[in-house]
Amino acid sequence: MSQDRRILTRACLASVVLVILAAMPGIGSDETPRKKLIEKARRFVKQLASGDVDQAVSQFDAKMSEVLPPDNLRALWRNLESQAGSFKSMGEARVSRAGGFDTVYLDMAFEQHALRFKIVFDKSERISGFWVEPAASTTGPSAAPAAYKPPSYDKPDRYSEERVSFGEDPWIAKGILTLPNGVERAPAVVLVHGSGPHDEDETIGVNKPFRDLATGLSSNGIAVLRYQKRTHAYQLRLAAEGRISVREEVVDDALAALKFVRAHPRVDPARVFVVGHSLGATLGPQIAHEDGKVAGAVLLAGTARDLTDVLLDQLGYIASLPLPNQAQNQKMYDETLATLMKVRNGELGDDATVLNVPVTYWKELSTAAERSLEIARGLSCRLLIVNGGRDYQVTKKDYDLYRRELAARSNVSFKWFKNCNHLFFAGESMSTPQEYEKAGHVDEAVIKYLVKWITRSK
């Protein structure tokens, strides 16, 4: 379970497929001219777009050259265009400095998505980190970020917020604790993120599903702790170290959060729940087991299947959509399937990559997912499995597996929201990657059901 992995370029598995990471940062310099860095960043993108990958790689530092050689970088760009559409243009750019690193933020226009590139430079002006993430804009990369608008069920007069920190050095976690007004000892929830470097709101573009959950539950008498994921708060430090396990990425901070919230004077320590989303849901049983004191665990869109099978289902679904890049999407699926078959047949070792992600990473996640079902069978606390009928990332296959294996247990409940996608936003037709760019909120029906389940006596 605790096998180390390198932080490399990776398509987020049970989160938004568009988030791609690649980072091995170096050390920045206060004297680096901003204009020159922006010019270097734009040149790098132009080389990628024109297919001059060898020149693009020549700007990398030693570690980036090792983990992202020309073939991998070429595949990254191909995968990116298959998901986001053809590259159109570059927009606004800015430079920031944090933790000793100089980062150029470059807004990008693709055919189907507005993205933001984050290109990190070291003191020698070599590229030492590269991130791609959705831009927080619904009208294009040059537009001002769209503002989050609270849902109707958010009643700010019914709760208060506290900025909190917990855990131990060097991984102090920071977050927000929402406390219902007029409740002396409230039941409490700790929210655990999906895959990717999420902030405390699990922000995806303009959407903030964890903020929706927190304010919706706290408006109904339930305290909620949400926090910055370690891979968000300490992204550059982790990337510089080059190694992190699933335990370090998810489990340790979740356990620290449960311990912290349980000790709060306005929380009932006997009624503390862990609520995981996506990867957080997959690891929910393990977190509940290791904590040993939770009143219950809620798995929102979790999976107990081999993660490479889940990945193939996702890619196959995307390839089936009537999109302009359908041929590229199909090619990505075919190439990924071929690589996985070679891995499974022993033709490729653990040093191979699938979608630029080491096989060791996929194996670690898959082991954790499959083990979570075994752990769930032995939990004595209450367990709630929740899935959405419009979710193409974690589907009815996953829900049915939980039902088949856990339905006989009296402490386990199941809930299917047929109109919800992976973020539990309601809609009509089957979800697509593009839907995540549109403003939405966690369905109020989900909020109400969680409130009822959490507050019932047993």
Q: What SS3 class is residue 168?
A: coil
Task: Give the pLDDT confidence score for residue 361 in this predicted structure.
Answer: 79
- Answer yes or no: are the C-beta atoms of 269 and 295 closer than 8 Å: no
Beta bridge partners of 163: 176
Task: Give the pLDDT confidence score for residue 268 in this predicted structure.
Answer: 98
One-character DSSP codes across 388-444: ETT-SSS-HHHHHHHHHHHTT-TTEEEEEETTB-TT-BB-SS---GGGGGS---B-H
pLDDT digits (tens, 9 = 90+) for 20-69: 222 222 223 344 467 889 999 999 999 999 999 999 999 998 878 877 78
Global pTM value: 0.77
- Average pLDDT for the chain: 85
Report, as an integer, the average pLDDT of 343-355: 83
Q: Which of 15-19, 196-200, 328-332 has the highest mean pLDDT?
A: 196-200
pLDDT band for position 139 (50/70/90)? very low
Task: Give the pLDDT confidence score for residue 360 in this predicted structure.
Answer: 84
C-alpha distances out from residue 326 to 85, 109, 194, 431, Å: 10, 19, 27, 16
pLDDT digits (tens, 9 = 90+) for 168-210: 988 999 999 999 999 999 999 999 999 888 899 998 878 999 9
pLDDT band for position 242 (50/70/90)? low
Active site residues per annotation = 278, 391, 422
Task: Give the pLDDT confidence score for residue 116 in this predicted structure.
Answer: 85
Task: Give the pLDDT confidence score for residue 143 in this predicted structure.
Answer: 40
Task: Give the pLDDT confidence score for residue 12 in this predicted structure.
Answer: 31
- Answer yes or no: are the C-beta atoms of 224 and 442 closer than 8 Å: no
pLDDT digits (tens, 9 = 90+) for 211-227: 999 999 999 999 999 99
Task: Give the pLDDT confidence score for residue 236 in this predicted structure.
Answer: 63
Residues 6+ apart with CB under 8 A from 21: 7, 8, 9, 10, 131, 132, 196, 197
Question: Is the pLDDT score of 323 beyond 80?
Answer: no
Question: Is the pLDDT score of 241 beyond 70?
Answer: no
Q: What SS3 class is residue 48?
A: helix
Task: Give the pLDDT confidence score for residue 166 in this predicted structure.
Answer: 97
Task: Give the pLDDT confidence score for residue 112 in this predicted structure.
Answer: 73
Phi, psi of 245 (to 5 degrees): -105, 170
Task: Give the pLDDT confidence score for residue 371 in this predicted structure.
Answer: 95
Task: Give the pLDDT confidence score for residue 326 in this predicted structure.
Answer: 78
The three-point CA angle 337-15-172 to 5° equals 125
Question: Is the pLDDT score of 345 beyond 60?
Answer: yes
From the number of C-beta atoms within 10 Å of its C-beta (0-12, 13-18, 19+), residue 152 rates as exposed
pLDDT digits (tens, 9 = 90+) for 63-114: 788 777 888 788 778 877 776 778 889 988 888 875 556 888 888 888 877 8
Q: For the beta carbon of residue 124, count every other beta carbon within 10 angstroms.
A: 11
- Tell me the domains of the chain and their CATH numbers: 10-134 (3.10.450.590), 156-301+378-455 (3.40.50.1820)
User: Which of the 8 DSSP states describes residue 156?
Assistant: G
Task: Give the pLDDT confidence score for residue 16 in this predicted structure.
Answer: 27
pLDDT band for position 138 (50/70/90)? very low
How far apart are the C-alpha atoms of 409 and 380, rounded to whole Å? 10
Share of the chain above pLDDT 70, in %: 86
135-139, 414-418, 447-451, range with the lowest pLDDT? 135-139
Question: Is the pLDDT score of 381 beyond 70?
Answer: yes
pLDDT band for position 18 (50/70/90)? very low
pLDDT band for position 442 (50/70/90)? very high
Tell me the two tokens of residue 108. 């990008």
Beta bridge partners of 417: 388
Task: Give the pLDDT confidence score for residue 137 in this predicted structure.
Answer: 41
Question: Is the pLDDT score of 402 beyond 90?
Answer: yes
Share of the chain above pLDDT 90, in %: 53
